[in-house]
Amino acid sequence: MSKRIDVEHLNVHYGDFLAVQDVSMNIEPRSVTAFIGPSGCGKSTFLRTLNRMHEVIPGAYAEGRVLLDGDDLYGKGVDPVTVRSMVGMVFQRPNPFPTMSIRDNVLAGVKLNNKRISGSEADELVESSLRGANLWNEVKDRLGRPGSGLSGGQQQRLCIARAIAVKPDVILMDEPCSALDPISTLAIEDLINEIKTDYTVVIVTHNMQQASRVSDKTAFFNIEGTGKPGRLIEYAPTSDIFNTPQKKETEDYVSGRFG
Amino acid sequence: MSTTVSTRKPGTESSAAGRAGDSIFSGLSLAAGILIFAVLAAVALFLLLQAAPTFGAAPADVTGGKGFFTYIWPLIVGTLIASVIALLIATPIGILVALYISHYAPAKISNPVGYVIDLLAAIPSVIYGAWGATVLAPALVPLFTWLSEHAGFIPFFSGPASQTGKTMFTAGVVLAIMILPIITSMSREIFTQTPKLHEEAALALGATRWEMIRMSVLPFARPGIISSIMLALGRALGETMAVALVLSSGPMIASLLKSGNQTIAAEIALNFPEAYGLRLSELIAAGLVLFLITLVVNMIARAIIARYKEFSGAN
Amino acid sequence: MSTSTTNPGLSPVRQSKLTRGQRPKWLIPVVGLVAVVAGAALAALIGFSVALWALFAAVIFLIAGPVAVGLIEGSRAGADSLMTFLVYAAFLLAVIPLISVIWTVLANGVPGLTSNMLLTSMNGITGFQDNKADAPGDVMGGAYHAIVGTVSITFWATLMSVPVGLLTAIYLVEYSQGGWLGKAITFFVDVMTGIPSIVAGLFAAALFGMIFGPSTRTGFVAAVALTVLMIPTVVKNTEEMLRIVPNELREASYALGVRKWRTIIKVVIPTAISGIASGVTLAIARVIGETAPLLVTAGFATAINWNTFSGWMTTLPTFIFYQIMNPTSPTNPDASLQRAWAAALILIIIVMLLNLVARLVAKAFAPKTAGR
């Protein structure tokens, strides 16, 4: 259930503006990869190209290749809907569907593909997904209540449960803890460590401690200035990035002498 | 702040004059607000006063000879029939067009299209009426004939169909075209306000565009759609000219394909210029009934909007 | 959008497994073609007409297209394409009447747009003249009196409703401070918005009928009716415009020791003036086309009457209505129809111009955004 991602010479444009330039990297299955870098360096944009969510923004397009176990996501005739059902995503701000109950939120993606899922199967899936997201014990008595009634951290874990219920191959997380308090953040980080045994996880974070705590490999992105494209500066095992960075820019950034 | 006149500085008005200006201005604007009450009260009062003779008149003197209720009942039914036809046609099309503008049309043309739909709303009703009578009515005759021949067993479509096309069905279609922009422009506004977060949540789960709309846009917009439909209904109920010009009126009948039926508004417009005495009072009473009906519909719409505002505030 | 052929760094491509079950590009055009042909055949069976052909072709396409997509890509894609086609179909369906209305008005109105139409009234025009007129240019009589009536009635309605509307909006935004009175006024303005136009006409007729005797009909009665319709529009729009004026501006002015009423006149209103002006223009555009309230208040005149306070008046909408419903010459209604359509064209031009002016005003006086 976990696939590798190979990115080859990817450029991302917003209309005329080149946002990300020439990124190539290989992401191993069953690992956590963190993207770090200053604001506006294109790391979130790049993350979105891994499940073609950037196409939601008018005028955005990517060139190059993103291979999911060898299959090009941008190949001719590939439907972005198929891609997104294989590569799930968790957003910066928790976004459970406000009109749905907790249970329906977990099942939202599953019901798309399998409308006639039986009640007992659905119950099992809800429990396993919520357990997978470390949320089961907190919400098992109120599965019928609206998801918007939960705390921010619980909502974010609900969104993770919703993402893993579809059984994707990859889970992308775009600064999943930036809207959460420290305790909720810790809960999410623990969760990331647990789900990496089953999924390829890619996480964008502003928080370098978080990157060093959760990730196996880290990619550092940077821009030279406003209006310039973001580029991948260094991509290495996390301990190397933080202890023995090869590039001066990386060292400046991780040691706090930058931005 | 000092209130003594002696602190007057060069270049500023005297405090006394300033204060007077303040109270005059606030008094004026308050008076304007209260004038609204006065106008509304006057509308109700004068309609009631002028309509009163009808309610006191002997049933035999009222048009139709059987009292006001027997007179107004077919008109209420006619008004409702025309509005229901209009809603049945305009609601699905209006919502789909709103979706087209908000989620389907390319970014470049969605704004111009929205403007064109607003223009549709700006065309005066008498022109729609004239168009309905001269273009639409004859064009619908073959459809009516076909319907009455093949679906005549349904009372609504019983024949023989009108050969001029000036029927309730045509009037409903014209009304539908007139209220469509209301539904479209209100729904579109709410559709575009759907939080991007929820749309992206659906897409990231692998939803198609339609599934995304069903999962995130429609639940968010439901109260707004309902209230836009109610407001459109209020407009359709009170619309006069389209019906007056398009419908060849007559007594209440079930068939929508024959001449017959009449709405309150058109009844008033067509008969008022020649009316005097008790007839005048009857028509004003009819207007009062129409006012009450639209008032109820609009109240319901406002209540839905108000409740919806409370909910969206909590999120 | 792949640059794989030009970029030497890319690994060799193999057939992607993600593309399974994709519909071929030609599918939809082919289904469309089949629908058009089959629609023509079906229509020919019943009795060919273009409308029938279009109807059958559309129905066949709306069924066959999604079914074909659904068979190849699964039911979800089928449902998605069904909705896409429906949305586009609804849009086309909504545009047809608009085009038809504008085309009808242009085609029937332009021939009648003569100097007679614009510069003479219907005074002395009877069935006799109409029966003699064969060519569009021969038609005597025009809508000058109706244009006069429209302009003077709308002028008085604007003169009465704009100050009341503006002041009410100012009260709501600047003075009421969320009090019960403000809420009550907002509520009653909402109620007023929903008054059917014919009821507003009845009110004005009843009001003047009580005071000056039944059947008092002048341009001013009509103006009162239109005022009732116009006030809520002006209040609503002005209120919205005043509310978006940032509070910082007001506070800056108060901090300079400027009185509240001067702040409103010198700071708040100038900031919002473009929105207010375009809102008033749109409100005028709305009431200028009102017909029903004028039928019951202004009477019907054939001669030019500049005096709003005495005598009957005709406006463009009522002129159109009466020319269609009661042609001057019942045996030869073409002359009347021609005048009606020409008047409709004039009316539509006025309304469209007002809409355009409103947009231009909103743009021209809009506060300049920083840096651009």
How far apart, in whole angstroms, are the C-alpha atoms of residue A192 and residue A34? 11
Question: CB-based contact (8 Å) between C8 and chain A?
Answer: no
| pLDDT for res C3 | 42
| Higher pLDDT, residue B160 or B87 | B87
Residues 112-131 of B with CB under 8 A from A: none
SS3 C261: helix
How far apart, in whole angstroms, are the C-alpha atoms of residue B162 and residue B248? 10
CB contact under 8 A, C18 and A65: no
CA C346 from centre of chain: 15
Q: What is the DSSP string of A45-108?
A: HHHHHTTTGGGGSTTEEEEEEEEETTEETTSTT--HHHHHHHEEEE-SS----TTSBHHHHHHH
Which band of pLDDT confidence, cut at 50, 70 and 90, is reported for residue C83? very high
Are A161 and A129 a contacting pair, CB within 8 Å?
Answer: yes
pLDDT tens per residue across span A40-87: 888 888 999 998 988 888 888 898 889 988 888 888 778 888 888 889
Among all residues of chain A, which has the CA nearest to that of B107? A58
Are A75 and C2 a contacting pair, CB within 8 Å?
Answer: yes
Q: Residue B65 carries which side chain, given as an amino acid letter? A: G
Rounded to the nearest angstrom, the minimum Cα separation between C16 and chain A is 5
Residues 11-30 of A with CB under 8 A from B: none
CB contact under 8 A, A112 and B203: no
The domain ranges of chain A are 5-254
The domain ranges of chain C are 24-110, 136-364
SS3 C245: coil
Residue A227 buriedness (CB in 10 A; 0-12 / 13-18 / 19+): exposed
Residue B239: list chain C partners with CB under 8 A.
196
| pLDDT for res C4 | 41
CB contact under 8 A, B135 and C104: yes
CB contact under 8 A, B122 and C299: no
| pLDDT for res C360 | 86
Are C201 and B46 a contacting pair, CB within 8 Å?
Answer: no
CB contact under 8 A, C9 and A24: yes
Sort strands A200-204 and A170-174 into parallel, antiparallel or unpaired.
parallel
CB contact under 8 A, B205 and A85: yes
pLDDT tens per residue across span C312-335: 888 889 999 888 888 877 777 788
- Of the CATH numbers 3.90.1150.10, 1.10.3720.10, 3.30.200.20, 1.10.730.10, which one belongs to the domain with range C136-364? 1.10.3720.10
| pLDDT for res C157 | 93
CB contact under 8 A, C16 and A71: yes
Please give the C-alpha separations between residue B172 and each of B126, B140, B244, C353, in angstroms, as whole numbers: 15, 12, 12, 29
Task: Report the DSSP beta bridge partners of residue A222.
Answer: A231
Residue C17: list chain A partners with CB under 8 A.
71
Q: Tell me which residue in B127, B208, B237 faces C347 most closely, judged by beta carbons.
A: B127
pLDDT tens per residue across span B230-281: 889 988 998 888 888 888 877 777 777 777 788 888 888 888 888 778 888 8
CB-based contacts of A53-59 (< 8 A; 24+ apart in sequence): A53/A84, A53/A89, A53/B200, A53/B203, A53/B204, A54/A12, A55/A80, A56/B196, A56/B199, A56/B200, A56/B203, A57/A14, A58/B107, A59/A13, A59/A14, A59/A15
C101: number of Cβ within 10 Å: 22
Write the DSSP symbol of residue B251: S
Q: What percent of chain C has pLDDT over 90?
A: 19
| pLDDT for res C370 | 41
Interface test with C, best of B186, B211, B241 (most C CBs within 10 A): B241
How high is the mean pLDDT of chain B? 83
How far apart, in whole angstroms, are the C-alpha atoms of residue C206 and residue C199? 10
Question: CB-based contact (8 Å) between B191 and chain C?
Answer: no
Question: CB-based contact (8 Å) between B273 and chain C?
Answer: yes
| pLDDT for res C158 | 94
pLDDT tens per residue across span B41-50: 888 888 888 8
Starting at the edge strand found earlier in the chain, the sheet holding A170-174 runs A71-72, A60-68, A5-14, A17-27, A230-237, A217-223, A32-36, A200-204, A170-174, A87-90
How far apart, in whole angstroms, are the C-alpha atoms of residue B304 and residue B307? 5
CB contact under 8 A, B33 and C264: no
Lowest mean pLDDT among B33-42, B182-191, C14-23, C315-324: C14-23
At C247, list the tokens.
């509070």
CB contact under 8 A, B206 and A96: no
Sign of CA dihedral B184, B187, B190, B191: negative
| pLDDT for res C86 | 93
B247: number of Cβ within 10 Å: 29
Q: Give me the mean pLDDT over the A233-253 stretch.
A: 89
CB-hemisphere CA count at 13 Å for C225? 31
Question: CB-based contact (8 Å) between B42 and chain C?
Answer: yes
| pLDDT for res B14 | 53
Question: CB-based contact (8 Å) between A115 and chain B?
Answer: no
| pLDDT for res B64 | 73
Sign of CA dihedral C343, C347, C348, C353: positive
Q: Kind and range of the H or E element at C197? A: helix C197-212
Write the DSSP symbol of residue B135: I
Residue spans of alpha helices (H) in C10-143:
27-46, 50-73, 75-109, 115-119, 127-132
pLDDT at residue C2 tops 60: no
pLDDT at residue B315 tops 60: no
Q: Residue C41 carries which side chain, given as an amino acid letter? A: A
pLDDT at residue C7 tops 70: no
Are B157 and B148 a contacting pair, CB within 8 Å?
Answer: yes
How far apart, in whole angstroms, are the C-alpha atoms of residue A230 and residue A232? 7
CB contact under 8 A, B295 and C194: yes
Question: CB-based contact (8 Å) between B199 and chain A?
Answer: yes
How far apart, in whole angstroms, are the C-alpha atoms of residue B220 and residue A95? 13
Sign of CA dihedral A93, A95, A101, A104: negative
Please give the C-alpha separations between residue B53 and each of B60, B254, B274, B277, in angstroms, as whole numbers: 13, 32, 18, 9
Residue C300 buriedness (CB in 10 A; 0-12 / 13-18 / 19+): middle
Size of interface A-B (CB pairs under 8 A): 69
pLDDT tens per residue across span B145-183: 888 888 778 877 877 777 888 889 999 999 999 999 989
Residue A170: list chain B partners with CB under 8 A.
none
Write the DSSP symbol of residue B184: H
Fold held by B57-314: MetI-like fold (1.10.3720)
Subunits with at least 3 CB pairs below 8 A relative to chain C? A, B
Subunits with at least 3 CB pairs below 8 A relative to chain B? A, C
Sign of CA dihedral B232, B238, B244, B247: positive
Rounded to the nearest angstrom, the minimum Cα separation between B106 and chain A is 9
Write the DSSP symbol of residue C135: S
Task: Report the DSSP beta bridge partners of residue A235.
Answer: A219
Question: CB-based contact (8 Å) between B289 and chain C?
Answer: no
CB contact under 8 A, C3 and A64: yes
Contacts of C288 (CB under 8 A, 6+ apart): B124, C150, C154, C316, C347, C350, C351, C354
| Higher pLDDT, residue C344 or C178 | C344
Residue A166: list chain B partners with CB under 8 A.
205-206
CB contact under 8 A, B245 and C324: yes
How high is the mean pLDDT of chain C? 83
How far apart, in whole angstroms, are the C-alpha atoms of residue C242 and residue C273? 9
Sort strands A170-174 and A5-14 into parallel, antiparallel or unpaired.
unpaired
Contacts of C70 (CB under 8 A, 6+ apart): C77, C78, C79, C81
pLDDT tens per residue across span A86-101: 899 999 888 888 888 8
ipTM of the complex: 0.84
Q: Give me the mean pLDDT over the A158-171 stretch.
A: 89
| pLDDT for res A217 | 92
Lowest mean pLDDT among A157-161, B82-86, B108-112: B108-112
| pLDDT for res A171 | 92
Lowest mean pLDDT among A162-171, A238-247, C68-77: C68-77
Question: CB-based contact (8 Å) between A22 and chain C?
Answer: no
Rounded to the nearest angstrom, the minimum Cα separation between A63 and chain C is 6
pLDDT at residue C126 tops 60: yes
CATH of domain A5-254: 3.40.50.300
Q: Kind and range of the H or E element at B111? A: helix B107-122
SS3 A20: strand
Among all residues of chain B, which has the CA nearest to that of A167? B205
Subunits with at least 3 CB pairs below 8 A relative to chain A? B, C
At B250, list the tokens.
């007559």
How far apart, in whole angstroms, are the C-alpha atoms of residue B230 and residue A222? 54
Interface test with B, best of A78, A81, A113 (most B CBs within 10 A): A81
Residue B133: list chain C partners with CB under 8 A.
324
pLDDT at residue A142 tops 60: yes
Which band of pLDDT confidence, cut at 50, 70 and 90, is reported for residue B11? very low
**Largest separation between any pair of C-alpha atoms in chain A:** 57
| pLDDT for res B299 | 84
Which band of pLDDT confidence, cut at 50, 70 and 90, is reported for residue A259? very low
At A141, list the tokens.
């008595």
| pLDDT for res B210 | 92
pLDDT at residue A204 tops 80: yes
Please give the C-alpha separations between residue C26 and each of A109, C23, C29, C31, C122, in angstroms, as whole numbers: 31, 8, 6, 9, 62
How far apart, in whole angstroms, are the C-alpha atoms of residue A133 and residue A159? 9
Lowest mean pLDDT among A103-117, B121-135, B208-222: A103-117
Q: Tell me which residue in B33, B100, B273 faces C168 most closely, judged by beta carbons.
A: B33
3-state helix, strand, coil in chain A (%, to 5): 40, 25, 35
At A158, list the tokens.
């609900």
* C-alpha closest to that of C232 among C268, C274, C200, C270: C200
Q: Give me the mean pLDDT over the C183-196 stretch.
A: 87
pLDDT tens per residue across span C228-262: 999 999 999 999 889 888 888 888 888 888 888 88
Sort strands A17-27 and A5-14 into parallel, antiparallel or unpaired.
antiparallel
Contacts of C237 (CB under 8 A, 6+ apart): C275, C276, C279, C280, C282, C283
